[in-house]
Amino acid sequence: MNSVLHLRCIDCGRTFSAEPDRYVCPEDGGLLDVEYDYDRAGHNLSRDGLASSPEASMWRYLPLLPVRPDTPRPPLRVGFTPLYPAPRLGRAMGIEQVYVKDDGLNPTGSLKDRPSAMAVVKAKESGASVIACASTGNAASSLAGQAASAGMPTCIFVPERAPLGKLAQMVVFGATVIKVLGSYEETYRLSAWAIERFGWYNRNAAINPYLIEGKKTVAMEIVEQLDFQPPDWVVMSVGDGCSIAGAYKGFLDMHRCGLAARIPRLLAVQAEGCAPLARAFRAGTSEFVPEPENTIADSIAVGVPRNPIKALSAVRKSEGTFVTVGDEEILSAMKMLGTTAGVFAEPAASASVAGLARAKEMGIISRGDTVVVVVTGNGLKDPGRATQAGGEIITLPPEISLLEDALKDRMAANGHPSG
């Protein structure tokens, strides 16, 4: 078996056995947290053991994951994504040590492959035959891909605004896709009804306690990739709040196992046009006010966040904070990340880069801090927005003289000698 002890309700503190399809506290509907025997997990998860592990995926942290070792796992390689030093990005922002964790390189192009792979394993353990979720896009496209790789059918609910790249993935992966002519909130409610009605496995991230356990592996990798010296700050964008809560859990679990001396401060980033959690954080409460979903960063356009308590408490306990960024800042951050680091991020992932720039300007993060910014989704998901991020394309007939003229102007504009 693994080192899981039980599930603990974050409201009433009662504990329950870790059944694969136990989602919320049976007493009061509170969210559950997976708790481990950390002595035992730490025994099975050591620096030396990790250094010699051949498992180049999220499953390298198996002793700290809530799955049975014998449950078949989806074959796609999820996690163990690169952590790039990004010195030019750092210089542009005035921060000495910036790293980019590129989770856009997961099989379906987002961090959501981590919880989706976990969902497929737990669905198999529970004996379910269909997995379902509501999603702003990436949870759905990743679930569709992970489930397809394991031969399980999916039914997926997305709001009408989901960008084309994500929709294309879902249909190619063979999911039953329900596009709801409404907001994410309305989409979520419809999915909850259908999941209950048809007894499907529920991959809705906030209420399924195992999904955060998949998400936490991004943090465990960051710790390992920095040679067990966690950075001062980790920057992530926030919608429902599950991803940042998952990252916090990953740092905490590494710390509890003696693999990390400290927990980094979390910089949580929301879009100005939809920032209920940032405003709740500033107000010092866990009660948010629902907001319209008014931003180009579709993956974090969540007006009614599903995981406010875990997200806000993660940021508070880490001694971190929230910042908000506008759509223009998001587009320029996308361009800046691409230009300085060669990493292509979708708008919600670019928001974290924009948030880092904002936090530096506000004096929250200083020049000497070590920072990891997490790119949660690949830019190819939404090329429409990316082309808006700017950058002229030279278009001309196939004539050498026109090419020479155009290049002369262009090179001069870019400061290159053109002779």
Q: Which residues bind Zn ion (CB under 5 A)?
A: 9, 11-12, 25, 27-28, 30
The answer to whether the beta carbons of residues 216 and 103 sit under 8 Å apart is no
350: left (phi over 0), alpha (psi -120 to 50) or beta: alpha
Structure tokens belonging to residue 171 = 């249909």
353-392: contacts with ligand PLP (CB under 6 A):
376-377
Which does residue 345 touch among ligand PLP, Zn ion, none (CB within 5 to 8 A, set by kind)?
none
Which does residue 346 touch among ligand PLP, Zn ion, none (CB within 5 to 8 A, set by kind)?
ligand PLP
Indicate the residue among 257 and 330 with the shorter CB distance to ligand PLP: 330
Upper half-sphere CA count for residue 418 (Cβ side, 13 Å): 13
Whole-number Å distance between alpha carbons of 405 and 395: 12
Whole-number Å distance between alpha carbons of 186 and 326: 25
Q: Is 324 in the site for ligand PLP (CB under 6 A)?
A: no
Binding mask 199-228 for ligand PLP (x = CB under 6 A): ------x-----------------------
Distances (CA, A) of 336 to 20, 237, 332, 350: 42, 17, 6, 9
Q: Is 303 in the site for ligand PLP (CB under 6 A)?
A: no
- Interface residue with ligand PLP among 4, 134, 238, 331 (CB under 6 A) is 238
84-143: contacts with ligand PLP (CB under 6 A):
110, 112, 138
Indicate the residue among 11 and 35 with the shorter CB distance to Zn ion: 11
Sequence-ordered strand ranges (E) for 208-278: 233-237, 265-271
The answer to whether the beta carbons of residues 210 and 68 sit under 8 Å apart is no
Which does residue 63 touch among Zn ion, ligand PLP, none (CB within 5 to 8 A, set by kind)?
none
Q: How many residues bind ligand PLP (CB under 6 A)?
A: 20
Which does residue 27 touch among ligand PLP, Zn ion, none (CB within 5 to 8 A, set by kind)?
Zn ion
Structure tokens belonging to residue 189 = 């409610």
Whole-number Å distance between alpha carbons of 18 and 35: 9
The answer to whether the beta carbons of residues 299 and 355 sit under 8 Å apart is no
Segment lying near ligand PLP (by CB under 6 A), choices 75-83, 179-187, 191-199, 297-305: 297-305
Shortest CB 25 distance to Zn ion, Å? 3
Which does residue 12 touch among Zn ion, ligand PLP, none (CB within 5 to 8 A, set by kind)?
Zn ion
Residue whose pair of structure tokens reads 């192009």 in the numeric block: 109
Segment lying near ligand PLP (by CB under 6 A), choices 157-165, 249-257, 298-306, 330-338: 298-306
Backbone angles phi, psi at 228, to 5 degrees: 65, 20
Indicate the residue among 346 and 369 with the shorter CB distance to ligand PLP: 346
Indicate the residue among 9 and 98 with the shorter CB distance to Zn ion: 9
Q: Is 270 in the site for ligand PLP (CB under 6 A)?
A: no
Instruction: Compute the chain's Rg from CA coordinates.
Output: 21
- Interface residue with ligand PLP among 158, 170, 242, 343 (CB under 6 A) is 242
Closest CA to 289 of 275, 272, 299, 306: 275
Which does residue 258 touch among ligand PLP, Zn ion, none (CB within 5 to 8 A, set by kind)?
none
Give residues with Cβ within 8 angstroms of 172, minimum separation 6. Answer: none
Residue whose pair of structure tokens reads 């979390």 in the numeric block: 266
Which does residue 110 touch among ligand PLP, Zn ion, none (CB within 5 to 8 A, set by kind)?
ligand PLP
CB atoms within 10 A of CB 196: 10
Q: Is 327 in the site for ligand PLP (CB under 6 A)?
A: no
3-state DSSP assignment of residue 316: helix
Which does residue 30 touch among ligand PLP, Zn ion, none (CB within 5 to 8 A, set by kind)?
Zn ion
Indicate the residue among 237 and 318 with the shorter CB distance to ligand PLP: 237
Backbone angles phi, psi at 26, to 5 degrees: -70, -15
The residue number with the shortest CB distance to ligand PLP is: 377
Shortest CB 353 distance to ligand PLP, Å? 12
Shortest CB 104 distance to ligand PLP, Å? 8
Shortest CB 38 distance to Zn ion, Å? 22
Structure tokens belonging to residue 69 = 């070792």
CB atoms within 10 A of CB 10: 14
Closest CA to 299 of 377, 355, 360: 377
Residues that bind ligand PLP (CB under 6 A): 110, 112, 138, 205, 237-244, 299-300, 302, 346, 348-349, 376-377
